[in-house]
């Protein structure tokens, strides 16, 4: 299934009674998830620190933990199991070392100007022994700046691996939490479902070169 992450930005001018002046609030909306015409029916929080929105998905891959880790821990292999990724470029630091920054881009998230969508991610931590890592989206043009993605692998026995992917994002004005979390969960679950195929393709290439 082709996943399209359409979004647009529009301005909603509304009277804020307690400040007695007109404020302009910019909303990022996801077409197909929220109807901008119904925005007045939603409560808008304009002050105070907002809690994070959290979600998680998991799946079992029918391959040993070490083979799964080899696929998911290398930036150069992202496009093999993430359908939304076309390019991944190293920007700063060494891969696997906290502080490493990479630039992920594609046309999966269409932009109004026709340009590629891009996300700059920073590695927060990676533990090859525990088979886990955490990346933070430092900047992007898809509206998910500050999002944190954590991946952890667990030996599930009989040569299989349990993949846990948890994520948190800052609340998005003008959107429903459940809809956004469900959408991202579906997107990330589709990535997990592609890992087995990526491993099999890698094995075929090794066999062909022998």
d(CA 151, CA 29): 27
Contacts of 98 (CB under 8 A, 6+ apart): 123, 124, 125, 126
> Angle 143-146-33 (CA atoms, 0-180°, nearest 5)?
35
pTM over 0.85: no
> Which range (40-54, 73-87, 88-102, 184-198) has the least confidence?
40-54
- Tell me what pLDDT residue 143 has: 84
- Tell me what pLDDT residue 192 has: 97
d(CA 123, CA 134): 6
Domain ranges of the chain: 7-209
Contacts of 130 (CB under 8 A, 6+ apart): 152
d(CA 129, CA 126): 9
User: Is the pLDDT assigned to residue 150 strictly greater than 60?
Assistant: yes
User: Which whole number is the average pLDDT over 114-127?
Assistant: 91
Residue matched to tokens 């430092």: 138
Looking at the domain that runs over 7-209, which CATH code has it been given? 3.30.530.20
- Tell me what pLDDT residue 142 has: 83
> Angle 107-109-110 (CA atoms, 0-180°, nearest 5)?
75
Show the tokens assigned to 96: 């696997």
């Amino acid at each position: 299934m082709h996943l399209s992450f359409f979004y647009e930005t529009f301005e909603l001018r509304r009277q804020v009674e307690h400040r007695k002046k007109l404020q302009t609030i910019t909303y990022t909306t996801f077409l197909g998830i929220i109807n901008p015409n119904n925005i007045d029916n939603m409560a808008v929080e304009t002050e105070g620190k907002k809690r994070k929105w959290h979600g998680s998905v998991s799946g079992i891959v029918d391959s040993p933990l070490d083979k799964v880790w080899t696929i998911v821990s290398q930036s150069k292999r992202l496009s093999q199991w993430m359908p939304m990724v076309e390019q991944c470029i190293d920007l700063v630091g060494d891969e696997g070392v906290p502080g490493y920054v990479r630039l992920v881009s594609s046309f999966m998230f269409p932009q109004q100007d026709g340009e590629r969508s891009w996300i700059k991610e920073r590695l927060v931590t990676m533990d090859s022994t525990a088979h886990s890592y955490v990346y933070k989206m430092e900047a992007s043009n898809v509206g998910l700046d500050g999002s944190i993605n954590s991946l952890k692998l667990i030996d599930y026995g009989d040569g299989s691996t349990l993949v846990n992917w948890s994520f948190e994002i800052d609340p998005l004005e003008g959107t429903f939490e459940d809809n956004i979390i469900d959408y991202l969960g579906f997107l990330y679950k589709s990535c997990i479902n592609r890992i087995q195929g990526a491993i099999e393709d890698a094995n075929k290439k090794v066999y062909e070169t022998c």
